[in-house]
């Protein structure tokens, strides 16, 4: 009997999603004669039973498309907005999984999706996931699909910004996505020749950054490119957040926990606008004109690179192989040129951050890039 599998894409859109859908679907259809359907708009589509058949026609011509043909959302199964209320829709998902006679549900997404998928696994569903995000922060995989495309876009942006920085003798501060990890800013900063790279893992001292820019100016290089991750923090902010996190671990009463959690959330919210504050402070300290460029969602759109298409296809076809072999409760992780099924328990709720001794960090320091510390 042919197996029935469902596929959904959740969280932020990312280059390579359609390539992954195609990889799973075509391998399932051609190699194993499975029946495949795709749920619209993430977990919400599964709750509302909105789906499309993923046959050969639906999977044709989507390899190079950006975004996801299924649509996506950030809805959580256990806290979904329904009729103005946040409701736990997990039971509905379980019922619909059975109504569609699914033998497996494939969830394509980042850290949040891995966590939500694990919760469904705990309810007895056959779950398998693929690691997607431009942030490259999913635990237990060498790389996520979407990262290479975003890295290429961010690098090209820095390349172009060099012209303006050089012509006008300016400091150009370019904000790069990455959430609370620095993979994207670090990689694009090195590849684009940024003079300063600031990432969340290394809280920065703005005065040290200013000193390095002034040193460049005194040596005749009257411009600087600062690549800053959206999650990067002033060292003072980082110290406050660490102190609050320690306090939260020691909090005993529910009231203390609630109060400390609210304080932590306020500090985290205070990081918004850091890039503008950084540029203003650098202009003040160096007397050099500063300009901010925020790349934003440009990094998530467009045609996926060849590397992302290859990775997504490779992981997608491996996913179909695992389903045929009855292997569930895993994420299909990239390992070199191959793949490895990793227990979802090892992935859910974890984040892959940049180690301080990572070769990229070491290389950046070797060539004289200022890391803010």
The torsion angles phi and psi of 231, rounded to 5 degrees, stand at -100, 5
Catalytic residue among 41, 75, 103, 135: 135
Q: Which two tokens stand for residue 275?
A: 């890039």
Of 302, 291, 17, 313, whose CA–CA distance to 153 is shortest?
Answer: 302
DSSP letter, residue 88: -
The answer to whether residue 135 is catalytic is: yes
- Tokens representing 126? 């056959």
Decide: 9 and 21 in contact? Cβ < 8 Å: yes
> For residue 160, what are the CA distances in angstroms to 146, 154, 172, 174, 225?
22, 10, 11, 11, 11
Contact present, 146 and 134 (Cβ < 8 Å): yes
Alpha-carbon gap, residue 235 to 357, rounded angstroms: 19
Query: Any idea what the Cα angle at residue 258 is, between residues 253 and 262, rounded to 5°?
Result: 150
Q: Which residues are catalytic?
A: 135
């Amino acid at each position: 009997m042919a197996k029935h599998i469902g596929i959904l894409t959740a969280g932020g859109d990312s280059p390579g999603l359609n390539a992954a859908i195609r990889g799973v679907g075509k391998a399932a259809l051609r190699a194993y004669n499975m029946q495949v359907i795709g749920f619209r708009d993430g977990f919400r589509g599964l709750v509302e039973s909105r789906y499309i058949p993923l046959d050969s026609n639906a999977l044709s011509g989507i390899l190079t498309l950006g975004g996801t043909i299924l649509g996506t959302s950030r809805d959580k199964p256990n806290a979904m907005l329904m009729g103005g209320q946040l409701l736990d829709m997990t039971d509905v998902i379980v019922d619909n999984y059975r109504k569609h006679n699914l033998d497996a549900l494939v969830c394509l997404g980042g850290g949040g999706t891995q966590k939500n998928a694990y919760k469904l696994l705990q309810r007895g569903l056959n779950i398998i996931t693929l690691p997607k995000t431009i942030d490259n922060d999913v635990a237990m995989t060498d790389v996520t699909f979407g990262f290479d495309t975003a890295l290429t876009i961010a690098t090209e942006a820095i390349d172009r910004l060099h012209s303006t920085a050089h012509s006008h003798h300016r400091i150009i501060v370019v904000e790069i996505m990455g959430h609370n990890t620095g993979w994207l800013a670090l990689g694009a900063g090195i590849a684009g020749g940024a003079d300063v790279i600031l990432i969340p893992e290394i809280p920065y001292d703005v005065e040290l950054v200013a000193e390095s820019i002034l040193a460049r100016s005194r040596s005749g290089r009257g411009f600087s490119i600062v690549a800053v991750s959206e999650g990067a923090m002033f060292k003072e902010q980082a110290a406050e957040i660490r102190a609050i996190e320690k306090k939260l671990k020691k909090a005993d009463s529910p009231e203390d926990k609630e109060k400390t959690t609210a304080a932590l959330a306020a500090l985290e919210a205070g990081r918004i606008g850091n890039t503008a504050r950084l540029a203003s402070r650098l202009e003040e300290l160096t007397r050099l004109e500063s300009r901010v460029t925020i790349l934003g969602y440009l990094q998530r759109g467009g045609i996926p690179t060849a590397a992302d298409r290859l990775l997504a296809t490779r992981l997608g076809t491996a996913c179909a192989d695992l389903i045929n072999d009855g292997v569930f409760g895993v994420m299909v992780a990239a390992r070199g040129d191959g793949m490895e099924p990793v227990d979802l328990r090892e992935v859910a709720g974890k984040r892959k951050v940049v180690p301080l001794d990572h070769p990229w960090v070491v290389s950046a320091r070797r060539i004289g890039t200022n890391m803010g510390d």
